[in-house]
């Protein structure tokens, strides 16, 4: 077998997609988006070898890039259409935002750490993903200036649905978010807004870093 070049990740991208399929991701557009976004560009240097393993990995500011399966699952649950405008809360590495940008018209992503915001902007720009805007701010407040959003995804866990996010969701909009205590059982919740109210579905069990109030004081 030919030896892989020095910077090629150990766990290949072929295996990566197979794992997602085996775990139940069936939406071809979602699989294609994950195939097209190079995850090794979003992880820290020490972890590029395992960038395609199905696990969360540490990033700057004590945060994590989510597990690929969870990124794929939440993205699939959003049922994105090419005309959708999406809000992401918790930019982190920018990986989830990059995946969303392949499936929607426009992505606004908000992050409380300036350092992460700037790194994510750099990565997205280097990949030519021009339909994502990363802003520094408190995701509990959403990004009202750009609302309403057809879809909202939150990638840090809160105990309750932030009311401002529900306000900024368009009619017939869908929001997918992890809910639950920091050290307890968290689940992905899907909320669908209609003229008659909001319906809620409880989905899979997950483990996310907490959604923290306010913009980060440290960098």
For binding to ligand SAH (CB under 6 A), which residues are involved? Answer: 63-66, 89-90, 92-93, 95-96, 110-113, 116, 138-140, 155-156, 209, 211-212
For the chain, percent helix, then strand, then coil, each to nearest 5?
Answer: 35, 25, 40
Min separation Cβ 2 and ligand SAH, Å: 32
Nearer to ligand SAH, 162 or 173 (CB): 162
Nearest-approach distance from CB 136 to ligand SAH, in angstroms: 8
- Nearest Cα to Cα of residue 88 among 104, 195, 126: 104
Q: Retrieve residue 118's tokens.
A: 């700037």
Spatial separation of the C-alpha atoms in residues 172 and 215, rounded to whole Å: 30
Of the pair 111, 150, the CB lying nearest ligand SAH is at: 111
Q: How far is the CB of 195 from ligand SAH (least distance, A)?
A: 29
* Active-site pick, 4, 66, 93, 101: 66
Between 31 and 87, name the residue whose CB sits nearer to ligand SAH: 87
Rg, the chain, Cα only: 17
Structure tokens at 202: 């409880």
Q: For residue 185, report the phi and psi dihedrals to the nearest 5 degrees.
A: -75, 125
Closest residue to ligand SAH in the complex (CB): 92
Peptide bond into 148 cis (omega under 30): yes
Do the beta carbons of residue 211 and residue 161 sit within 8 Å? no
Active site annotation includes 66 = yes
Contact criterion met (CB below 8 Å) for 105 and 84: yes
**Phi, psi dihedrals of residue 28, rounded to the nearest 5°:** -60, -40
Shortest spacing between CB 71 and ligand SAH, in angstroms: 6
Does residue 86 sit in helix, strand or coil?
A: strand
Place of tokens 């021009």: 130
Q: How far is the CB of 113 from ligand SAH (least distance, A)?
A: 5
Nearer to ligand SAH, 46 or 171 (CB): 46
Block residue for tokens 């996010």: 165
Show which residues are catalytic. 66
């Amino acid at each position: 077998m030919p030896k892989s070049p020095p910077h090629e990740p150990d766990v290949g991208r072929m295996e990566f997609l197979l794992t997602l399929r085996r775990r139940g991701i069936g939406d071809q557009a979602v699989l294609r988006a994950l195939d097209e976004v190079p995850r090794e560009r979003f992880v820290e240097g020490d972890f590029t070898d395992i960038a395609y393993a199905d696990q969360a990995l540490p990033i700057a500011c004590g945060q994590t890039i989510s597990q690929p399966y969870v990124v794929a699952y939440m993205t699939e649950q959003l049922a994105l259409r090419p005309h959708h405008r999406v809000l992401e809360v918790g930019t982190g590495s920018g990986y989830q935002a990059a995946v969303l940008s392949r499936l929607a018209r426009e992505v606004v992503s908000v992050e409380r750490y300036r350092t992460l915001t700037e790194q994510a902007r750099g990565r997205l720009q280097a990949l030519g993903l021009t339909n994502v805007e990363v802003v520094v701010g408190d995701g509990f407040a959403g990004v009202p200036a750009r609302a309403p959003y057809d879809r909202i995804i939150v990638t840090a866990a809160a105990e309750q649905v932030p009311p401002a996010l529900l306000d900024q969701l368009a009619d017939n909009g869908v929001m997918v978010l992890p809910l639950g205590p920091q050290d307890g059982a968290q689940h992905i919740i899907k909320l669908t807004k209609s003229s008659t109210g909001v319906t809620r579905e409880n989905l899979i069990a997950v483990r996310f870093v907490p959604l923290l109030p306010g913009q980060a004081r440290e960098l």
